Amino acid sequence: MRESDGQDKAPAAQPGVWEIIWENVRVFLTAIVLALIIKTSVVEAYKVPTGSMENTILVGDFITANKFIYGAKIPLTDWRLPALSEPKPGDIVVFTYPGDGVTNYVKRLVAVEGQKVEVIDKLLYVDGEIVPDVSLAKHVDSRVYPRGAHRMGSRDNWGPYVVPKDHYFMMGDNRDNSYDSRFWGPVPKDLILGKAMIIHWSWATDDAAPEVKITDPLTVPRLFVYNTVHFFDRVRWDRLLTMMQ
């Protein structure tokens, strides 16, 4: 047997329990931070709960918005990154509703600062020119209300109005059923969140689905079972990964 020459290396020290725990915590926290940065600065997903953008966006569509393109806000600050482009007429935009500063809305941008907006007998005019409806926009009410006829007067006849500096005028594609800038005014630039880009998931509404009630915990598993059974019927497969225009 060969004698040791005295130069054998000592076995490497094994990491302790606390070192292993810290390493896992560090990896987890890093992942959380990166996810938050991506969510707040690059892309974010939104569920659409109303039909104000039909038929471009349906109730139950889940959309992904590009927050980087308009200059995303840096988390925990009021600073924005440089914008790749400015919002322009025709863009579908996600923004914070000016009325409460909390709720997220999605509408189509129809006019920017300095442009004159007017609605005459349901037709949209910008700078005196008729703006044709996009292909999937719709009107569902044949009635045309005159100016000043309670709330519906703003819907069908409105303006003229010049969009102020650093503001945007928004309208829903479902023109007769959209609560938008015709009713509550333009959107300030600092409330813009991003440009809606793609429908990544679409879940059809179903009136027969069990209603979840706080007072009845069993409604949760009932809904889960119902959705599992009807999964392939409720997913709008033809809308998945659809680019929005």
Whether residue 164 is preceded by a cis peptide bond, meaning omega within 30 degrees of 0, is no
For the chain, domain boundaries: 32-203
Report how far Cα 2 is from the mean position of its chain's Cα atoms. Answer: 73
Instruction: Give the residue numbers annotated as catalytic, written as ranges.
Output: 52, 107
Sequential pLDDT tens for the chain (245 residues): 444 455 555 555 566 667 667 666 666 665 555 455 555 545 677 888 899 999 999 999 999 888 888 877 766 667 767 778 899 999 999 999 999 989 999 999 999 999 999 999 999 999 999 999 999 999 999 999 888 776 677 899 998 999 999 999 999 999 999 999 999 999 999 899 999 999 999 999 898 888 888 888 888 888 899 989 999 999 999 999 998 88
Three-state SS sequence of 209-224: CCCCECCECCHHHHHH
Given CATH 2.60.40.1290, say whether it is the number of domain 32-203. no
